[in-house]
Amino acid sequence: MKQLYHSYDEALEIFRDLQRRRPDLFRVEVIGKTWEKREMVVVTITEGIEKAEEKPALFYTGTIHAREWIGIELAIAFAQYVDRNFLYDHAVQEALKSSTFYIVPCANPDGFEYSRNHFSFWRKNRRQNADGSYGVDLNRNFPVGFVKSKNPLSNVYGGPEPFSEPETRALRDFVEAHPNIAIALDYHSQGNVFFPAHDFRHEDTLDTTDMNVLCANMAEEIRKISDREYGIHQGKPPAKLIGGSGREFYYSKGIIASVVEVGTRNISDYLDDMIEHIREHIPALLAALKEAPNYERGHTLPRPENFRATFVGSDTVTLEWEPYPCCEGEEEIYFEIYRSGREKSYCRPFNLMGLTQANRYADSNLRSDSSYFYHIRAVSRSSGRKSPFAPVLAIRTHVGDDEFHRTYFPLPDRTGYVAQRAKDNAAHFGVNSLFVGVSETKGISYAVVTIPMKSLPEKAVIKRARFRLYPMNRVGVTVEKYGEWDVGIVDPQSVGDLTKFEEVDRMKILSYVGRPTPSNHLTQGIWRSWEFSEVECRVLQEQIARQELTLRVEGPKELIVGRNSQMMQWDLGYGKFGGGLAFRPHLEITYTLEPERLELFPKRSFTVRSEGEEEGKILCGFDAQGRKIYATFDFELGSLPDWDYISIVRAYVVLKPVKIYAKSNIRFHLEMIDATEERDYRTIQGRHIIENIGYDVSAGELKDREQVFLFDSYAIQEFGNRLRQKRPVAFLLRPSSAQKLVKNSTVEWHSSHPEYTPKLIIEYLHKRRKPVAPVSDLKYSFDNGKIKLSWKNPADKDFKGVFVIKNPFRKPISPYDGDKLYGGPDNWTYDDFGALDVHKYYAVFTYDDVPNFSEPVILEYLPNA
């Protein structure tokens, strides 16, 4: 396996040979020397090498940790790919025409050679420390967040001071001498995850979205090649953030930066794994390289400001942003708008939803009660340059007219994991993490999640459901494409002591949920969802009477020979090291109820002919002179409940023909009309039609059958307007024919028979339409170094609780646009991980049991105010 990897000298010879053969594309220059006097080199790749410094650039560093060989191997492979494909690969030509690629293939040559020849697991460089030990972790030797350590034996020993090492000084000097560097990628192994740069605060920064999208676009290129999914994880509270790394140093210089962790082992099987990793990362690097011009320091277009949702419905969202400032030298600006169904998603041509020069965009045909994530950037039509992204906008569409929504979180004391070889499984409940899979130390490990469902009506009909877990670490999954992780609904009769492995292992599973997650789809930092099928929703529905659901999360139960772990770690959201509410497992349910049914009978019905009206009769067609005969009938709506507390699921008019004297080419139409207008023959011919009801029917279709004329959405809306205004509603039957003249062709419908008389049938749910009042007296204070928020809840019997949202970029108009700090009936909460020196907005939304959300009450937090 190791014989297929290149030595450092072999790599240098490959790059210098490329320079000799293709001096127009490649340049190799020495930027420093190591402790052992090896040359550190930068390989420059671009079209027209003499103009390399005039183009925006991507800065690549590899193998800064000695045992992480992917960095140098990918650098070699990428350079060779450019050499082989430049003449005919349009993607390579386009990227290198507008951008420069700087590659430091190995940032730790001494340590790399020591790892190759002496001790594979070596990580640091080969400096001799004062105590006689060797090595400094070069990725802890940069100044941003540098931590002074007195333990040189540590694998993460950062050296006596920042830039104490010649290797990091060489990287510093090169970066500071090249202000054209716009993007920096630092390649490591292992984990299959991108770690974008952070600023040592658990708050999103203005360019967090840019880094997430850059990484997501690269991840999508990887997925297309190998079906492997990469995670994106900027640094989730309360995790300790890494300090002293190159990534944060580059970021401090205005460069968007990320670490890329590749694979599941530091030194992978070359033929089986490493070649695949290399192949999938070449198009990913090309995608990143093409983005460099859009992030050129000092030359970027302004990002769109105050990107927000001004309207959210059940199937439509209206997006707006501020008018774009004029840019010198730019003729025309337009905007790209992207939509995704999951967090931290890519922005590629296939999820580009719209192009517009306006500062408003309406997105429609969305699914009700569903989460969507929007991105926007400006584009110069003349130059093709694109701006950075506005901060991502998250919304959730409203529930449909017949829908309700619930989100349930687990009971901490009955949620945890049990491991086959653990001595105290009870200690794993309600704290920190869920470990699922198998390892040599833990044996087989299951997670048990207990979810209360007390607020779900016993007669609820579940339409959709999904269970979600936040993956906080997948490094323990060391085998690609082996094993899968499932979620099962547990038979309540088999639930015993949840803290005993044997009893959890014996649980009976009624049904597994959705599709299992294979190991190559496990990610870190992106929610994993298990979607319930229709059959699984019925199984879930059977648990409603118990008011509790037990789920078992399970993974592989056997290890491959030579591997010691296939264990995934998920955030529990509780405990000292849990990420809190924002990362807690949860079950989302969209449900409906069996509607109530109300039958209304006409207050009045009559036929209208040219010669007059006939009360109590419903006749429609053509008379002996070929003139139309109309029928009309009215309904009073006083017996329906208050419009503000019902939702009409379905409405329709039922007519039963009694006598048919009509040819088959006659058709009959039912219209909703204004009940207050006169309905003599002359007025009817000039009538105002509110809406046609259902589809017209032909005389040949009648055959004594009952006819149902179903309201469409607009008809229900107009019907609701009349109900809200306490006005009656009227309908009119009219005939039509394709022939120029039709005579003596009529149909009479029952008008007085108690069983067959016309009926207006309304199916409705008791459902509040308007939100309860918002909170009042929202304010913040400081308590033990944290920001504490407090408010007064409204005194309304339908008040169920509040959502508290934080957003550092804009006022949250939607209850999903930002970090959720709290959900529940209390009147206070803390911003547990919030930085005191960051400007931000807090918004509090009240909700009822639908839920309908109130308009937000917004509080601006000004540091040091």
Helix (H, G, I), strand (E, B) or coil at 465: strand
CA distance 257 to 196: 6
> CA distances (Å), 829 to each of 227, 787, 823, 835, 842, in order?
42, 9, 9, 15, 11
3-state secondary structure 479-510: CCCCCEEEEEEECHHHCCCCCCHHHHHCCCEE
pLDDT in tens, 70-110: 999 999 999 999 999 999 999 999 999 999 999 999 999 99
At residue 219 the predicted structure's pLDDT band, cuts being 50, 70 and 90, is very high
Give dist(CA 468, CA 754) in Å, integer: 54
Under 8 Å between Cβ of 116 and 2: yes
Q: What is the mean pLDDT of the chain?
A: 94
Query: In degrees rounded to 5, what are phi and psi of residue 457?
Result: -60, 145
- Packing angle, helices 109-117 and 8-21, rounded to 10: 130
pLDDT for 754 beyond 90? no
Buried/exposed code over 149-173 (b: 16+ C-beta within 10 A; e: otherwise):
beebeeebbbbbebbebbbbbbbbe
DSSP 169-225: HHHHHHHHT-TTEEEEEEEE-SSSEEEE---SSSS--TTHHHHHHHHHHHHHHHHHH
Sheet strands side by side (includes 786-792): 776-783, 786-792, 828-831
Amino acid at 248: E
pLDDT (tens digit, 9 = 90+) per residue, 722-732?
998 889 999 99
Rg (CA), the chain: 34
pTM of the model: 0.94
pLDDT digits 0-9 by tens, 826-861: 999 999 989 999 999 999 999 999 999 999 999 999
If pLDDT is split at 50, 70 and 90, which confidence band does 329 have? low
Q: What is the pLDDT of residue 328?
A: 57
Which tens digit of pLDDT belongs to each residue from 576-632? 888 889 899 999 999 999 999 999 999 999 999 999 999 999 999 999 999 999 999
Q: Is 96 exposed, middle or buried (0-12, 13-18, 19+ CB in 10 A)?
A: buried
Please report where in the chains the tokens 């449909």 appear, as a residue.
400
Distance of alpha carbon 93 from alpha carbon 48, whole angstroms: 11
Phi, psi of 702 (to 5 degrees): -70, -70
